[in-house]
Amino acid sequence: MFFHLQLDKDIEVEPRFFGPRLQEVLKQKVTSEVEGTCSSVYGFMLMVTDIGSIGKGKIREGTGSAVFHVQYTCLVFRPFKGEVLDAVVTSVNKMGFFADAGPLQIFVSQHLIPSHYRVEITDDAAFESEENSPPIKAGAFVRVRIVGLKAEANQLFCVATITEDFLGIIGD
């Protein structure tokens, strides 16, 4: 789920930033280029926690800019198949519902919702229960188990279920 990883990156700096504040500029560039991104290997890069070593810069011919090899430590969020997450329902349609767990978007198909829930498509779409359970509607809190995960170049997609014990609606 959450990991603290040591990673590295090559950072290009323009000549106007050369000077006594070069290390500050490098730290700011690493933070701005890394935080908020998604990697198919590591997951969502949430926060750069520390800047390690900064290598010697190499001048690029023609531009005058320099490339520095920077090591940094980063907090990442990487979901795995079988993991249980709490999420907030964002939208409901006849095929299922979408929920967000932090930066991760999760889809729960109607086939992965208990059979006592029926979809009611009105202005405020919801899955209504026949057993007096709270409805699953936008803004509701749900506990889901990830059953499928697709990693692309810069995005992660999940499919989840709420049919198992201790899963489902946990609040409005």
Tens of pLDDT, residue by residue, the chain (172 residues): 899 999 999 999 999 999 999 999 999 999 999 999 998 889 999 999 999 999 999 999 988 899 999 999 999 999 999 999 999 999 999 899 999 998 999 999 999 999 888 888 777 888 888 888 888 999 999 999 999 999 887 888 899 999 999 999 997 6
Are 156 and 43 contacting, i.e. CB atoms less than 8 angstroms apart?
yes
- Read off the tokens for 12: 């290009």
SS3 state at 31: helix
| Residue 172: predicted pLDDT | 63
| Residue 124: predicted pLDDT | 80
* pTM for this entry: 0.84
Which residues have CB under 8 Å from 55's CB, separation 6+?
A: 68, 69, 70
Which residues have CB under 8 Å from 131's CB, separation 6+?
A: 116
- Angle at the Cα of 102 from the Cα atoms of 97 and 105, rounded to 5 degrees: 35
Q: Would strands 117-120 and 126-129 be described as parallel, antiparallel, or unpaired?
A: antiparallel
| Residue 67: predicted pLDDT | 95
Are 69 and 51 contacting, i.e. CB atoms less than 8 angstroms apart?
no
| Buried-exposed string 56-72: b where 16+ CB fall within 10 A, e elsewhere | ebeeeeeeebbebebeb
| Residue 169: predicted pLDDT | 92
**36 φ, ψ to 5°?**
85, 0
